A = this chain, B = another copy of it.
Amino acid sequence: MRVIAHRFPTTGPSDVSGLATQLDAGELRAQDILAIIGKTEGNGGLNDFTRELATRALGDLLAPQLGCAPAEIEDRVVLSFSGGTEGVTSPHLLVLARTGEPLTTPRAEKRLAVATGYTRAFEPWEVGYRPMIEETARVVRELMRELKIDDPADVHLAQIKGAIPDADEEQRAAAEAEGRPLRSDMVGSRAASALGVALALDEVAEDSIGDRVVCRDWSLYSTRASVSAKPGLLRSEITLLANSAWWDGDLVIEHGVMRDIIDLDAIRAVLARLGLEAPGQLAPEQTARLVGLFAKSDADPRNTIRGRRHTMWTDADISDMRYSRCVVAALLAGVTGETAVYVSTRAEHQGPLGGGPVAIIARAE
């Protein structure tokens, strides 16, 4: 059993030609595809329709081969698109597929293992609260077992699309009245999902978790959760990436955490763990080994970085989200020489306040 990963640069949100060619060439089978993670060139906001366009294009391409309707594609393959290709970010798709038979005996060096799963559907009042934290943790643990991961340290990325079930005014009022206002929004969904990962990976103590710490106690966080949230989504979609001795192939993954968005050395540390050491930027042959680069970004809400003021929160013309994505993507590209990076923003409980996790997939030497 091995993970096959293909990265395709795109000429636009609906460009699936790269994947189509691979499928036609038989180098990849639609049924083997577990997840497709991509950056599309929208604004990343509520009116960013590039994600829907990309989903539609992939549905039209894959549905016939999967024997489902294009609209059902998201039930067959986890699609995780992040809008916003600020600065040097190059739009692309990363296709993760699983192929081959399970190993009968563990191999010496661990290799990239990927599994996807779904939480149960959430009620609006569960989002942002303990129920979502625990259900998310449950699924993460389940996926670890599926991948035969005993040591949480082998998990390097939990890519999540968090649920945001719609709530009506009545539900909002009722929750308000109970002194337990609804958190069924982007912030609540991202925050609780991330804490769920932290719980499953023993990054936080069971008893430190509760409704009150969500978006309050920033000392609690996961270094491996990367969560975006989608209004209307009823259940969360989770893609777990880890290294396992029971998986074959030539891919490995490592992670680290940036303490702030100029923490260049955190990126270098991850590369070093992948055997990609370089004083400055990677050499071209090293860059060529990179398959996937993931990071979460945040404009420090305290309005300073290393004690100096930044203006990302006081700019009324450009969102802090676009700036922080642009900054972290620039750092990743500067250190690796690769601009096809996946940076998603707003990192509640994903890394320390003002910082965020970074994970990199590379081909083993």
Contacts and interface: CB of A to CB of B under 8 A. Distances in A.
Interface of A: 9, 11-14, 41-50, 52-53, 56-57, 60, 70, 85-91, 261-265, 268, 279-281, 305-306, 308-312, 314-319, 322-324, 326-328, 330-331, 333-335, 337-340
A154 to B, nearest CB: 26
22 contacts: A41-B47, A41-B314, A43-B316, A46-B314, A49-B49, A52-B53, A85-B310, A86-B326, A87-B310, A87-B324, A90-B310, A261-B330, A262-B337, A262-B339, A305-B333, A317-B318, A318-B318, A318-B322, A323-B326, A327-B330, A330-B334, A331-B331
A12 B46 CA distance: 11
A85 B311 contact: yes
A223 B202 CA distance: 52
A315 B14 contact: no
Contacts of A90: 305, 308-310
Contacts of A43: 316-317
Given A317-B45, A334-B334, A305 B52 contact: no
Chain B CB within 10 Å, residue with most, of A49, A87, A261, A339: A87
Contact of A265 (B52, B89, B91, B280): B280
A48 B337 contact: no
B316 A319 contact: yes
Contact of A323 (B87, B268, B317, B335): B87
Given A56-B56, A89-B311, 6 more contacts: A47-B317, A85-B310, A86-B326, A263-B334, A306-B337, A331-B331
Given A52-B53, A262-B337, A41 B327 contact: no
A281 B261 CA distance: 13
Contact of A56 (B14, B262, B281, B337): B14
A70 B48 CA distance: 23
Given A327-B326, A331-B331, A88 B262 contact: yes
Contacts of A45: 314-317
Contacts of A12: 49, 52
Contact of A326 (B87, B268, B281): B87
Nearest to A12: B49
A298 B12 CA distance: 22
A356 B231 CA distance: 31
A285 to B, nearest CB: 14
A14 to B, nearest CB: 6
A18 to B, nearest CB: 13
B14 A87 contact: no
A278 to B, nearest CB: 8
Chain B CB within 10 Å, residue with most, of A11, A262, A318: A262
A339 B305 contact: yes
Contacts of A338: 308
A233 to B, nearest CB: 16
B305 A281 contact: no
A130 to B, nearest CB: 21
A49 B265 contact: no
Nearest to A309: B90
Contacts of A46: 314-316
Contacts of A57: 56
Contacts of A319: 316
A324 to B, nearest CB: 8
Chain B CB within 10 Å, residue with most, of A12, A13, A265, A330: A330
